A = this chain, B = another copy of it.
Amino acid sequence: MDSNGDDLPKKTQHYVSAVEVARKAGVSRSAVSRAFTPGASVSAKKREKIMAAAEELGYQVNDLARGLLARTSRLVGLVVTNPELGYRSHLVAALTKALIHRGSVPIVINTGRTEEELVAAQKTLFGYRAEATIILSGSPPSSFVELARRNGQPLIVLGRSETGADDVNIDNEGAGREAARVFLANGLTALGFAGTVSRTPTTIERENGFCQEAAAHGATVIMGHGGNSDYAGGQEAARQLFAGSEPPQAVFCVNDLVAFGLIDHVRRHTSLRIPEDLSVIGFDDIPEAAWETYNLTTFRQDPAVMAAHAVALLDQRQAEPDCPPMHDRLNTHIVVRGSARIPHSFKP
């Protein structure tokens, strides 16, 4: 028992530092440091003694100091808007998990997608010398990309390309085309697309693929655009699509949430049965898509896979800081459930 004994715990209102551990273990400050650095030259006996002292004192290496010297921390920033919404909540969960598994520490900047807000987020992350920034929503302006490059901070953008940064994407256009093909192979030619007014590159690609493939086969596509790409947006799109005298026989929805809103609207306000009178295909395959009510045919976009690729891209970028922007494009595959008639001839 030494002087800072157990009977005075109140006084210890601060973190213990390496000097205290050194004193307790009867070694030098640097020995403590070495004990915590893998591969450093310390004898096993001494390391053990130091670790015991550290454990007893509740010592924890100060990552702030460590990062100061290393000029980088293990913090990784995730910049995201509405992280609670649909697919994004799963992506955030998968990314935080993957990053922690990697030994990094995820910071989640929940903010808008305007340029100002993105720049503010970047400043915060620079301030903590974040190891990297991953952008899940919105498109970084080129100044953003440039500044990250200048500071040597990897920047990964999900769901956008052409930003000048590394990105992970999926084949939205291909999926859109495939959705059209599923409908067409069933003989359905009156098609609909349920999207949103505020179009993002992602949704535009899905729309383009779908419309192009439909046009190529002489099918017509009528468009419905809700306010947001969520449940209410789906209802609104449905209202538009099914208001006219010639409603579509099949609708491709920009994501699952929109599909749910659309389906519920159709069930309540029309007599159409799904999938007999109306085929619906969604996008994302969030867990709700498998719920019995919806039983939605949709395109699977596995958040864990996306997260793994983002992390892999980060590793690569750190290995080669100066190589040109890398682009990773993932494939999606359709998950067949009951909301769309699927032709026998069709192989996903």
Residues in A lying within 8 Å of B, measured CB to CB: 9, 12-15, 58, 60-65, 67-68, 71, 73, 75, 82-84, 89-90, 92-94, 96-97, 100, 105-111, 123-124, 126-129, 147, 150-152, 231, 260-261, 264-265, 267-268, 287-288, 291-293, 321
Q: Cβ of A100: which chain B residues have Cβ within 8 Å of it?
A: 109-111
- CA of A291 to CA of B83, assembled, Å: 20
- 19 pairs from A and B in contact (CB 8 Å cutoff): A13-B151, A13-B321, A14-B71, A62-B127, A63-B127, A64-B73, A65-B68, A83-B92, A83-B93, A89-B89, A96-B108, A96-B109, A100-B109, A105-B107, A105-B124, A107-B108, A231-B291, A261-B291, A288-B288
Closest to A91 in B: B84
Whole-angstrom distance between the alpha carbons of A284 and B321 in the complex? 46
Q: Are B111 and A75 in contact (CB under 8 A)?
A: no
Chain B residues with CB under 8 Å of A14's CB are: 71, 151-152
Q: Which residue of B lies closest to A16 (CB)?
A: B151
Residues of chain B within 8 A of A73, CB atoms compared: 64, 128
Q: What would 8 more interface pairs be, CB under 8 Å, given A63-B128, A93-B110, A108-B108?
A: A12-B150, A58-B151, A62-B129, A84-B92, A89-B89, A100-B109, A106-B109, A260-B293
Report how far A108 CA is from B105 CA in the complex, Å.
Answer: 8
**A58, B124: Cβ atoms closer than 8 Å:** no
Q: Are A150 and B58 in contact (CB under 8 A)?
A: yes
Task: Given the known inter-chain contacts A58-B151, A64-B129, A127-B60, please indicate yes or no for A268 contacting B292, CB distance below 8 A.
Answer: yes
Q: What residue in chain B is nearest A121 (Cβ atoms)?
A: B100
In the assembled complex, the Cα of A31 lies from the Cα of B14 at a distance in Å of: 30
Q: Assess the A129–B15 pair: CB atoms within 8 A.
A: yes
A179 to chain B, nearest CB (A): 23
Complex CA gap A14/B148 in Å reads 10
Q: Write out the residue numbers on chain B whose beta carbons fall within 8 Å of the beta carbon of A97.
A: 110
Q: How far is the CA of A93 from the CA of B255 in the complex (A)?
A: 20
What is the bound-complex CA distance between A124 and B129, given in angstroms? Answer: 16
Q: Which residues does chain B contribute within 8 Å of A264, judged by CB atoms?
A: 291-293
Tell me whether B58 and A147 are in contact (CB under 8 A).
yes
Let me know if B13 and A150 touch, CB within 8 A. yes
Determine if A127 and B61 form an interchain contact, defined as CB atoms under 8 angstroms apart: yes
Residue of B nearest to A10 (CB): B322
Is B93 within 8 A of A84, CB to CB? Answer: yes
Q: Report Cα–Cα, A231/B11, bound state, in Å.
A: 49
CB distance from A274 to the nearest CB of B (A): 12
Would you give the shortest CB distance from A212 to chain B, in whole angstroms? 32
Residues of B within 8 A of A58 (CB): 147, 150-151
**Nearest Cβ on chain B to A308's Cβ, whole angstroms:** 15
Contact of A68 among B68, B83, B111, B293 (CB under 8 A): B68
CB–CB A71/B128 < 8 A: no
Separation of A106 and B110 alpha carbons in the complex (Å)? 9
User: In whole Å, how far is A322's beta carbon from the nearest beta carbon of chain B?
Assistant: 8
Alpha-carbon gap, A96 to B111, bound state (A): 9
CB distance from A94 to the nearest CB of B (A): 8
> Closest CB-CB distance, A92 to chain B, in whole Å?
7
